[in-house]
Amino acid sequence: MYTLNCRGKLLSLQKPVVMGILNITEDSFYAGSRHQINNTLLHTAEAMLRSGAAILDVGGQSTRPGSKKLTAAEEAAAVIPAITAICQAFPDAVISVDTFYASVAKEAVAAGAAMVNDISAGTLDATMFATVAALQVPYVLMHMQGNPQTMQQEPEYKDVVTEVLDFLLKKIALLQQAGVNDILVDPGFGFGKTTVHNFTLLKNLHVFSLLRRPVLLGVSRKGSIYRTLGITAEEALNGTTVLHTMGVLNGANLLRVHDVREAVEVIKLCEHY
């Protein structure tokens, strides 16, 4: 059983939990996840919490393939007021900041965030590991080949499962050396992977339990679903639910999702499988 210390709030992962996605950007691949800092953001946050989200993941940087990279200052200007507003409205909520900038992570935690979700595994900011260690918050370690601007330009692996596993293992060692205690691992679905790579990782998700860390699954409404089905991201909820079910049955401890209620239902039903 895993337990995360989120700035004094203990979050149990005895059974899988849900992380709701709150994007403060106009460039997210799924329009339904875009929010501005107004009543819409707070209404969405409240709806996610009421539906059973254990964590709210706030991000200001679009990381869809080919997206424009924001500076740390631009990203902070988007996410810090949002985190502040959510924490004021829902003081018991566990907030994660989705960033690869150490400075944004530091500001976010000061504003009330209690977790850092870094798509780059520290590769885009060399000070990230030391910063997270000093902040003493849980850290989501994700695998990505390349960067959001280049990652989908013909990604290649000899063995995607082994290579991602090896990458995460080495990064965990570095994080432990830096003094980070709570580490979650994310194979990085859609980040420098083809559809075949993504389904191979999903099929072998149980392998990542060898790392003895909670496994985060981030497949919600992604291209592997809607391209396979010949639909759009807006139409990909049913396909997302199918992949969430596969993931939970294969060892996922945390689902990062756009649609909280449906993901919570997956977890509840899988308990009886």
Per the structure block, which two tokens stand in for 198?
């993504």
Strands 115-118 and 3-6: unpaired
Say which of 171, 213, 221, 256 is annotated catalytic.
256
Collect all residues with Cβ–Cβ distance below 8 Å to 68 and sequence separation of at least 6.
27, 62
Say which of 69, 170, 222, 227 is annotated catalytic.
222
| Whether residue 222 lies in the annotated active site | yes
Identify the CA nearest to 86 among candidates 134, 24, 160: 24
| Whether residue 7 lies in the annotated active site | no
- The span from the CA of 62 to the CA of 29, in Å, is 8
Collect all residues with Cβ–Cβ distance below 8 Å to 94 and sequence separation of at least 6.
6, 9, 11, 54, 55, 56, 114, 115
* Helix 260-270 and helix 39-51, axial crossing angle in degrees, nearest 10: 10
Identify the CA nearest to 5 among candidates 168, 158, 132: 132
Helix (H/G/I), strand (E/B), else coil: 140: strand
Q: Which residues are catalytic?
A: 222, 256
